[in-house]
A and B are shown apart, each in its own frame.
Chain A
Amino acid sequence: MKIKIIFAIIAGLLTYTILHFAVMGYGNMKAHTSINTEINKKFENKYIKASSRPVKFKNYWINFSDGHILLEGMEVTNYGFFESTYGEDLRDNTMGEWIVHGGLSADEPEVPASVRHFYDPKGLNGGKKYLTNRGTYWEGMYSNPGIDAIEWALGDTPKGADNDYTWVKGKQFFVLAIQEKDSTKKEEYLAKAFRCLGEVLHNTGDMGCPAHVRNDSHAAPAGLSWGLLFGSPDPYEELLLDAFAGRYSGGSPDPGLDAYFASATTARSINERLAKFTNENFFSHETISGMGVKDIKPSNGEKAYDSPKLDNMTYDPLDFTFYKTFPSGRKVKMCKDHSYFNFRGYPYIDKECTYSQAAELTPNIISAGINIIRVFLPAFELKLENADDLSDTLDIRVIHTTDSEYQDTIKYNGKIRLWINGKLSDSMAIVEKGVYRGNIFPIKNGDKIKAEISFGDITILSEEIKATMDPLWGIWHITEILEDSDDPVAPEKGTEFNGTKFYKVRPDGKIEISNLDGSSKQVLYYARTSSTFRIYAEVATQSYDQNGSIASNQITWTASTESSYQQTVGSEKVWYFRKYSSKGKR
């Protein structure tokens, strides 16, 4: 009996273990994360750090490659084949890291992804742009969603709405983040937005991969028992190592494509154009066709594409290689047909061809990718102006310029910080619906100030302005020492009085002096010539007269102050005076 019990326990252990690894266990790492990493770097180099940056990003500072603001969001933490067998959890990442993660998460769960990441710009099979190759094999196991890679990634058609991380949703999250006042929610939206962007860049990477744009089903993820139904693996995709992105990203892109991407206004136009270029110029390993040593037909059983064709390439008999020279100037190894058994046989794409093709395709993917980011970021300008010449009141406006991707005006809600004479001030203002009017301490006349808004690792700066206001405007810590008085009840000479007051020059030219809470407000006449000033007032029973000068740094002033006042002594009215030496310090 004991043996049977042990056997039952072991059988239970084994049964679960087998089931677990049959449906859950495998890990995948993709070249897409490296591609997205390179896109982040190149975007910064071309559009942010370059001296000739475009007008849109003139006042942007973006740090995707080495950011430090963490945004909490859902990250794929366990890879899996299906929705039920993969997992996500909350993680903190920077914007750049979310973009990189999107390159990976777009392939999760992997089986649905493996049939949704194809886009045939030619629609060779009856106009269908989604994967149909080998459909008779795999559709029995997994129903064809009938959706092409671009609509899945962008979510701009009803079929794409099922994807949680699309271009359309990414833009919506970005807009919500910009409009949100609560900083925690703002960060949540940003995390989602930038994971979406990363997933769209995954699509961009795929559109630069021949096997994804030529209706050529290829092998499923490692570990899928019925993966054979998808066919053999594609050498280009399998040998596209992570290292390729860094190795080839510095190459020149195709000049025509590069110009097109740089002026494109929508993500769809960029990814479609890249897909067209890849489709028309490259073979996947099962869609080679044209006249080689004989008439070559695609090995995947589909119709042959019109382009490229072996006939239009240069064949070098010394290395048995078909070459194609691109406008970039690169001479690319398209395929070979060397055979031990028949000298020249059926053409194939080997490692050498893969590397050669990656050198041409990678710079074009990068060029497309950086422009995907360009159109993803809304165009904002931060305008900072003095409200008038007297006060420290500033007008700050966050102005959104609409474009093809963001057709409705976005109104920023959130913090604004100020740079005062090159130093970031601790003070901040809260902008509502893109507008702020008020003062931000401590600004003084002549200070050089800039405003900035930031979300994640994106910062937008205003142009620098010079604060114009009356030099006495602002908070002063005042010390007055009594020097003389004929008032018998006055304190002793030398007595010191201290106080903190707010000086405000009114549009009518008078000066308003009050406590910081606005109490004890006095309105007096005010005259100033350059650095000398006079503050005075006179009524029937008292007068006040202060004559002073402000230091050139405008942070101190000194003055002599005299006040006269009438007192009733017995039945008589008597005038007294007090004289002070006064000084103010900010």
Chain B
Amino acid sequence: MTKYQTLIKYFLGGFLAAFLMLNLTQCPEETTKPKDEKPLEETTELTTFSNEVITAFETSDADQVSNMMYEEHREFYIPDLQTNTDKMPAFAEALKERKLIGLNDLYAEYEITIDGTTFTIAYGQSGDGVWKIMRF
């Protein structure tokens, strides 16, 4: 019992130390001037997600694409995909050369080119950090 009490004591010590470090050693976050349009740079999370999307299209796996999409948007996009699975690899290839044209914490928009024609694909996340396809 004494052994556990000692461990709990050290656990609480660590908890308290973290509290002190995170709350008392930092100045309050200041509100800063409005930011201007920042240069667009794909985040690691977006790169990872894009790679997953590319794989799903490359393998013509419409179900996998569906799973990566916002539920409420699936019915408007997946039927078209299911009837055109043969076009999916070309989409994947184009996505490898994607150009990021719009980015915010919750939204990313890319431009892709297939046979000289430009299309866009958009991803979103709902604050939870999980990126999903919004449309393509």
Residues in A lying within 8 Å of B, measured CB to CB: 1, 4-5, 8-17, 20, 27, 29, 31, 33-34, 37, 75-79, 87, 89, 100-101, 104, 219-233, 235, 238-239, 241-243, 286, 299-301, 338-342, 345-346, 348, 350-351, 354
Within 8 Å of chain A (Cβ to Cβ): is B25? Answer: no
A219 lies within 8 A of B76 (CB): no
Given A219-B126, A340-B91; A33-B34 close (CB under 8 Å): yes
Q: Chain B nearest CB: distance from A490 CB in Å? A: 77
SS class, residues of chain B in contact with chain A:
mixed
Q: Chain B nearest CB: distance from A34 CB in Å? A: 4
Question: Within residues 78 to 112 of chain B, which ones have a CB less than 8 A from any CB in chain A?
Answer: 80-81, 83-84, 87, 91, 101-102, 104-107, 109
Sort chain B's interface into a size bin.
35 or more
The 0/1 profile, CB within 8 Å of A marked 1, for residues 21-64 of chain B is 01100001111111111000000000000000000000000000
CA of A15 to CA of B18, assembled, Å: 9
Q: Which residues of A contact B114 (CB under 8 A)?
A: 340
CA of A78 to CA of B134, assembled, Å: 31
Having A17-B22, A351-B102, one finds 6 other A-B pairs with CB under 8 Å, namely A9-B17, A12-B13, A12-B18, A16-B22, A79-B29, A350-B102
B37 lies within 8 A of A342 (CB): no
B29 lies within 8 A of A78 (CB): yes
Q: Which residues of A contact B17 (CB under 8 A)?
A: 9, 12-13
A77 lies within 8 A of B30 (CB): yes
List, sorted by A's number, 10 A–B pairs whose CB atoms are closer than 8 Å.
A12-B18, A29-B32, A29-B34, A89-B28, A224-B128, A233-B126, A235-B134, A339-B119, A342-B83, A350-B122
Q: Chain A nearest CB: distance from B3 CB in Å? A: 8
Given A12-B15, A301-B72; A226-B109 close (CB under 8 Å): no
Q: Which residues of A contact B7 (CB under 8 A)?
A: 4-5, 8
Q: Which residues of B contact A346 (CB under 8 A)?
A: 76-77, 135
Q: Chain A nearest CB: distance from B106 CB in Å? A: 4
Q: Chain A nearest CB: distance from B10 CB in Å? A: 4
Given A12-B13, A339-B80; A233-B128 close (CB under 8 Å): no
A341 lies within 8 A of B37 (CB): no
CA of A220 to CA of B12, assembled, Å: 33
- Across the two chains, which residue of chain B brings its CB closest to A230? B126
Q: Which residues of A contact B8 (CB under 8 A)?
A: 8
Given A227-B127, A299-B76, A340-B119; A87-B28 close (CB under 8 Å): yes
